Amino acid sequence: MRIVKLTRETTENILETMLQRSPTQYGSYEAVVQEIIETVKKNKDQALFEYAEKFDHVKLDASTLQVTSKEIDDAYEQVDPDLLRVIRKAMMNIRDFHEKQKQNSWFTTSEKGIMLGQKITPLKRVGVYVPGGKAAYPSSVLMNIIPAKVAGVKEICMVTPCNAKGKVNPVVLVAAREAGADRIFKAGGAQAIAALAYGTESIPKADKIVGPGNIYVALAKKAVYGNVSIDSIAGPSEILVLADETANPRFVAADLLSQAEHDELASAILITTSEELAKKVSDEVDGFLQVLSRKEIISKSLDNFGYILVAESKEEAIAAVDEIAPEHLEIVTCNPFEDMMKVHNAGAIFLGENSSEPLGDYFAGPNHILPTNGTAKFFSPLCVDDFVKKSSLIYYSKEALTEIHEDIESFAKSEKLTAHANSIAVRFEQREED
């Protein structure tokens, strides 16, 4: 890996390079995505069948678009019992973590007859997108569906592409049933997002769409936002390790590569105050590349978006972390808990040498669907709050309104909104006549 001295200029260059990976930068795809969306809006199921044949090389119809219970039962026969056991253990951790995020409706009252509060209402229907291309990600199935179930969503419709034989990956199907998906449809790409956003004869319109996907999926989610809600426009995966001279270089190298193997656009960055550690990590990376199965993808990722940055001080290193605002941040220093308190921008923070990023991907419980491309400066991980909406509650008695009605009327008149003022004043007309 390249070793670079950390300066303001290098940080800015890295940020500029990383932002080029954002789906919002791929305008050349937008026309294709918009055409797919408009076609699905117009032709509904028929468009899905045609796109399935075109892109997935499979013939589907109204009787085969939805995954049947038998197909899911058959999937259980194909999944290793040990893997199923692990999935169920991971589910317990994920559910326990997200249960702690639940909020209850609340209200306050006063003796004069005022009640104010907030009503929490789960979304009625959520659409979950699950990729089905080069790899299967049952962990993402769990991370999307379980928070929705904890929130109390009434119906969860999952969409995922099938293979040329019309089959969906069995582990994905098993994970979906275990997590609580209500309906599963064989649809992928921008066309699946359009179906969830606008509805077809078979796929009902969702209130919100969540889940990662390729550039077409990301741009489709961007295009339908406003007609439905979305979780985010996800970019390529990224990891940043903040380490000092106490870190184990072999562990750090392994953790960097765990994200670089996702795809050629993934980013892996080490920021350290130790030149010696920087060199050792680079050597360990070279060694791992000789044995890892996805070394071609990893090499391209590191060539394009991999950096080892050597900082003059820990303060300078932490400032760079906040500028980059990584999706995954590992802090491997002599006092990671103290350093964690100084960091403001990160999607998920892993503390200490035994808390490597894959722990969060699969098992610990916190959600692994995280803000990317610097959006950790203002976005949060997927959580239970993403699957509820909040309504304000307001009640005033006649006595309570009497005390303040003139104040409201005065405020409204100052904005020249006389109908607003009148809406309050009419309630006191009889009293003035008396």
Q: Which positions are annotated as active-site residues? A: 327-328
* 153 C-beta neighbours (distance < 10 Å), count: 23
Q: How far apart are CA 328 and CA 232, in angstroms?
A: 16
- Nearest alpha carbon to residue 368 among 208, 137, 151: 137
**Are 258 and 267 in contact, with CB atoms under 8 Å apart?**
no
**Are 302 and 322 in contact, with CB atoms under 8 Å apart?**
no
State the DSSP string of 218-270.
HHHHHHHBTTBEES------EEEEEE-TTS-HHHHHHHHHHHHTS-TT-EEEE
73, 142, 158, 180, 392 from 175: Cα distances, Å: 12, 7, 11, 9, 36
Q: Is 62 left (phi over 0), alpha (psi -120 to 50) or beta?
A: alpha
Q: How far apart are CA 254 and CA 259, in angstroms?
A: 9
> CB under 8 Å to 218, separation ≥6 — which residues?
23, 233, 234, 235
Q: Is 113 left (phi over 0), alpha (psi -120 to 50) or beta?
A: left
**Are 257 and 282 in contact, with CB atoms under 8 Å apart?**
no
